[in-house]
Structure 1
Amino acid sequence: MSGTKQFDEEAAVLHAAHAFWQKGFAGTSLSDLESATGLGRSSLYNAFGSKEALYERALETYSAVYARPILQALDGPDLREAIGEFFALAVKALLDPATPPGCLAAMACLETGGCEGPGGKFTALQLKTITSGLRAALDRGVASGQIDDKTDTAALALAYTALLRGLASLHKGGQRAKELEAIVRVSVAMLPAKTGGRRKSA
């Protein structure tokens, strides 16, 4: 039918995400995107409008496919198991041979920074989402007596966010699997001791 897109748009975005993942926003040329998606330059512009718009779509798709399942691990009732699974899934994703090294979202955060430029709003929102998810899990751990009720959950959530981003940088820099997996054990060890009971109401 005339005017109907003759390609799988979501698949094209995912392929573009892998291209950006490999080289970053600035390092990925339009020729790279043509090769990755199988689309000509005019088709890319017709479908997505600009390289910047395609990058933002790629980041959103990356988040849905790779990041969201990792965050869902934080919903588990046992805090230590949830934190361990959160970081274990992050390491598993990093070590997946089907994906480029490192983390597309972490690369975007370092490359674009702040809220300005391509992907800036996405990276700021994702950092906030990760930190909020971690803090909510830690707050539940405090409320259920799984960790010390004097725990600064805001600070610990930020520390875990930094650790998550650091994992991606270490992997990009060539750290081996056993070294990344050791960090999973350390992440659980960072949790304060149990309080021994459910927190009392004020």
Structure 2
Amino acid sequence: MVGIRQFNEEQTLERALEVFWRKGYGATSMPELAEATGVLRGSLYNAYGDKQGLFLAVFARYQQGFLAAACETLKPADTRTALKAFFSFAIASMKSGEAARGCLSTKTTVDENASAEPIRDVLRGMVDGLENLLAERLRQATEPLALPIADAARLLVTLTRGTVVIERLYPDSERLQATADALVDLIVPPPLPV
């Protein structure tokens, strides 16, 4: 029937996500997406318009899930514990998959073939969403902060992006976490010994 999708959209977006995450936006073709999803190219074009439209649908779903999971990690009452848990989650996320797949948003940001403004807008939305989550958590801190909240949130997000790059060279989770912990200690200094 016209206007009704004849495929499982959730499953299709999940399978397309895996392809975009593994190969990157620019290196992914519509025939590969059709094969991976089991949906005919014509049906994908009818549903999403083109590869960019499909990517935007995939990324919206990915962003919603990632931000919700990140929010959960920030729930501990102790701010230092919450921030360290956030980085632990971010590191585990980039190292998941058969081969460590990195970060979908960072991988797409540096992809020359992903420079269209609608894609840049959703990528900025992801960064802004993370900054907002972190800033909100820092506003709840009872511990003294070494930086203004907005600066601290931006610095924390910037380290998540840099961690993705360093993980390609030094895939040791302990090293990555130690770097994150050092930044957390600078932003939320540990209490002085009595």
Q: Do both share a fold (TM > 0.5)? A: yes
Tell me the equivalent position of 1:200. Answer: none
Q: 1:192 aligns with which of 184, 188, 193?
A: 188
Structure 1 residue 12 displacement after superposition: 0.5
Whether the 8 Å contact between 1:73 and 1:82 is mirrored in structure 2 is yes
Tell me the equivalent position of 1:103. Answer: 103
1:166 matched to 2:162: yes
List per-residue Cα deviations over 1:121-176 (Å, max 9, x = no partner): 111111111112212222221xx2x124x632221111101001112222344522
TM-score, length basis structure 2:
0.85
Gaps of 5+ in 1: 197-202
Structure 1 Cα separation of the partners of residues 167 and 123 of structure 2: 19
| Change beyond 3 A, Cα 1:174–1:10 | farther
Residue 77 of structure 1 aligns to a residue whose secondary structure is coil
Structure 1 residue 54 displacement after superposition: 0.3
Structure 1 residue 63 displacement after superposition: 1.4
TM-score, length basis structure 1:
0.82
Whether the 8 Å contact between 2:80 and 2:188 is mirrored in structure 1 is no
Whether the 8 Å contact between 1:106 and 1:168 is mirrored in structure 2 is yes
- The farther-off stretch of 42-51 and 62-71 is 62-71
Structure 1 residue 27 displacement after superposition: 1.1
Alpha carbon RMSD of aligned pairs, Å? Answer: 2.6
Structure 1 Cα separation of the partners of residues 99 and 9 of structure 2: 19
| Aligned ranges 1:44-193 → 2 under 5 Å | 44-97=44-97, 101-111=101-111, 116-141=116-141, 144=142, 146-148=143-145, 151-173=147-169, 175-193=171-189
2:82 is matched by which residue type in structure 1? A
1:6 is matched by which residue type in structure 2? Q
Q: Which structure 1 residue ranges, 4+ long, deviate > 6 Å from structure 2?
A: 112-115
Structure 2 Cα separation of the partners of residues 166 and 28 of structure 1: 24
Equivalent pairs counted in the alignment come to 191
- The farther-off stretch of 79-88 and 103-112 is 103-112
